[in-house]
Chains A and B, each alone.
Chain A
Amino acid sequence: MKTETKAVNIDRSIGDFSYDVEYAKDAGVGLSERVVTYISDVKEDPDWVREFRLKGLKTFLEKPLPTHWASKDLEAIDFDKIRYYLAQGTAPKRSWDEVPEDIKRTFERLGIPEQERKFLAGVEAQFDSEAVYSNIKKAVGEQGVIFVGSTEGLKEHPEIFRKWFGKVIPIGDNKFSALNSAVFSGGSFIYVPPGVKVKHPLQAYFRINAENFGQFERTLIIADEGSEVTYMEGCTAPKFNTATLHSAVVELVALKGAKIQYITVQNWSANVFNLVTKRGLAHEDAEIKWIDCNIGSRLTMKYPGVIMKGRKARGEVLSIALANDGQHQDTGAKMIHAADETTSNIISKSISIGTGRATYRGLVHVPKHLKRCKNNTECDALLINSTSRTDTYPAISVRGTGNAVQHEASVSQVSAEQIFYMQQRGLTEAQAMSLSVNGFVNDLVRQFPMEYSVELKRLIELEMEGSVG
């Protein structure tokens, strides 16, 4: 099919540009059974997936918005005005040379092919609804590692895919997981065979290009016994005047003794509703670690979780949220202890700028019959302006006697004296702010892989530049 580029809009920040692209496959505007069926037809879904989608739609329509506890701003999403599926209708390419030029240049501009050459074991690039590129290094593939888009995963590897799909996060987990179940497209499917330790990270990059669009990727990662894998995802979208919706579902399964590290650095523009459900299931002696950096968006609601199902399983969430003027980062973590000697760790840092608002919600659950479980929770908030806001809602339910939990929370403010001090050393107000913020997250960022800490530092600097007059 033929695509044409008509215009390019460029703005200051890295992700804020879009190219006009013609889509061969377009489900139109609004959500209905017809739209869901259209997606199934285009993707040539097997029957069980068709049923799964329709059940998702039904559940979505039945469930109310969670505004009794969450932001009323959710009501601003007009589900009838969103486009649920947009694609060029071609299979993902294994080589960047085969990716259509108008799409390739978006990713080149975001630096993805370059990063791939430098330090990644594999890359998947999604443009609106579908993966346009997916490739893993030959040596990794030869070890039996599977890294493909979810569409390909469910068709080519049904025996593994179907066993775990929708099991960690059921359709009805929440309204947005139900929506994702109805219209999901794209996302990654990864399987790491027993004992295989993937040395370099696998990366996915999710790019929204179209206006009034909803991106609903679905990622499923299975690390078989004793294996190890690190997955990183980056997300951007251009700045449009109307709302864009990103509602992903990510399920992780770490079998006995396996380790999964899942890293997100999102840099959404300020019109994106980012409502994502992420959860991992850790079997005996397995470890799941979420590193979650939330920058941008109008409203983010995201609480990565770990269900520690097997003895000695470990769960960890390290998160950083930056709420700039007019933004709301509602983030946190869920730790469900379901076996003896399981340990979990939550470290959350949030920064609120201008009228930005950061909310931490944490759930830690240790039932009565368990022994020797441990949880550590630390949540620190930094307020930049007097109009900035932060709230903390920790829910810790620990029953029984042989378990240990500790919770620490702090709120601090960048003081005018601190900024003046730094300005007196020659730093501009924006540089001073950015240094304070980087200092605040520093001990956490040090635990990230180097490439990502550099990226994060740069994103914080960009945010601070934009926020100081």
Chain B
Amino acid sequence: MYIKSASMNELRVENLSVTIAGQKIVRGLSLDLPRGEVHAIMGPNGSGKSTLAKVLAGHPDYEVTSGRVLMDGENLFELEPDERARRGLFLAFQYPSEIPGVSIANFLRAAVQARLPEGEELEATDYYAKLYEKMELLGMDRSFTARSVNEGFSGGEKKRTEILQLAMVEPKYAILDETDSGLDIDALKTVAHGVNSLRSPNLGILLITHYQRLLNYIIPDYVHVMVAGQIVRSGRKELALELEERGYDWAREEAREMART
């Protein structure tokens, strides 16, 4: 574990342990995500990647048993999920919920409105101009805004809608949970293009993925390998290729070794 002073411009996970229904899922995980960087977390199924994403967002089912998470120096665990979101944390869900009867336009409008200071009203024309611009970026038809959020969407449409929301709410840190799963190669390229266009010194991105494939299109600055609730290895983007070649068995072996020491 490496120690660094807490920065105002990073999402810092310190020695985090998480259980659900008494079962340990995340075991003493530490990670620093500075704004402006893209970090990928790779790991096999069941390694606790999605749990990490949900805990950061504040999902009520999980229990944090140790550690803390600082977002720009502020303790996340003292904030409700919606407060975390409004302060700049975004999670693109692996399985986004359907909201029947609520159009994408209305939903996003409520989300953007929620970030304005009290008493300030969203300017409708500016909002729509921005919405259409972002939709174009993601290759989405304008008529899409009238559809109910995620209802009857294909896998690709759901993922694209998540990235559209990311683009609209302009967070400081974005966690993309298995955004590549269920996408064909064309959809993957579109989504990756959308994410790449959002890369900026003001946004830290955490890509959670099972496969190296996504990382061909969104090139990370760092790659972390997660196995059995821990990060067993961190490195530059080449680490992803190494994983692709050698598989996760090697990483599992490292995890066992870490557990022994």
Residues of A that sit less than 8 Å from B by CB: 412, 415-418, 420-429, 431-432, 435-436, 438-443
1/0 per residue, CB under 8 A from A, across B95-126: the answer is 01111111000110011001100000000000
**A426 in contact with B101 given A421-B96, A435-B107 (CB within 8 Å):** no
Q: For A436, give its contact among B58, B99, B106 (CB under 8 Å).
A: B99
B57 within 8 A of A: yes
> In the assembly, what is the distance between CA of A412 and CA of B99, in Å?
12
> In the assembly, what is the distance between CA of A435 and CA of B82, in Å?
14
Number of residue pairs A-B, CB distance < 8 angstroms: 79
Mostly, the B contact residues are mixed
B101 touches A443 (CB 8 A): yes
Please report which residues of chain B, range 12-60, place their CB below 8 angstroms from some CB of chain A when the two chains form the complex.
57-60
Task: Report chain B residues within 8 Å CB of A422.
Answer: 97, 99, 107
B85 touches A426 (CB 8 A): yes
B206 within 8 A of A: no
B80 within 8 A of A: yes
B59 touches A420 (CB 8 A): yes
Mostly, the A contact residues are helix
A424 touches B99 (CB 8 A): no
Most buried by B among A422, A431, A435, A443: A422
Taking the closest CB of chain B, its distance from the CB of A456, in whole angstroms, is 14
Please report which residues of chain B, range 101-155, place their CB below 8 angstroms from some CB of chain A when the two chains form the complex.
101-102, 106-107, 110-111, 114-115, 148
**A423 in contact with B85 given A416-B60, A435-B102 (CB within 8 Å):** yes
B82 touches A426 (CB 8 A): yes
A425 touches B85 (CB 8 A): yes
B86 within 8 A of A: yes
> In the assembly, what is the distance between CA of A416 and CA of B97, in Å?
10
A439 touches B99 (CB 8 A): yes
Determine the residue in chain A with the shortest Cβ distance to B115: A426
**A425 in contact with B101 given A416-B60, A420-B59 (CB within 8 Å):** no
B169 touches A421 (CB 8 A): no
B169 touches A426 (CB 8 A): yes
Task: Report chain B residues within 8 Å CB of A442.
Answer: 101-102
> In the assembly, what is the distance between CA of A261 and CA of B97, in Å?
37
> In the assembly, what is the distance between CA of A416 and CA of B62, in Å?
13
Q: For A420, give its contact among B81, B148, B165, B169 (CB under 8 Å).
A: B81
Would you list the 5 A-B pairs with minimal beta carbon distance, nearest first?
A: A439-B101, A439-B102, A442-B101, A426-B114, A421-B97
B82 touches A423 (CB 8 A): yes
Task: Report chain B residues within 8 Å CB of A421.
Answer: 93, 96-97, 99
> In the assembly, what is the distance between CA of A425 and CA of B91, in Å?
8
> In the assembly, what is the distance between CA of A415 and CA of B148, in Å?
16
Task: Report chain A residues within 8 Å CB of B57.
Answer: 420, 424
B85 touches A424 (CB 8 A): yes
1/0 per residue, CB under 8 A from A, across B75-93: the answer is 0000011100110001101
**A435 in contact with B115 given A416-B60, A424-B91, A425-B85 (CB within 8 Å):** no
Task: Report chain A residues within 8 Å CB of B99.
Answer: 418, 421-422, 435-436, 439
Q: For A441, give its contact among B81, B101, B106 (CB under 8 Å).
A: B101
B97 touches A435 (CB 8 A): no
Taking the closest CB of chain A, its distance from the CB of B192, in whole angstroms, is 22
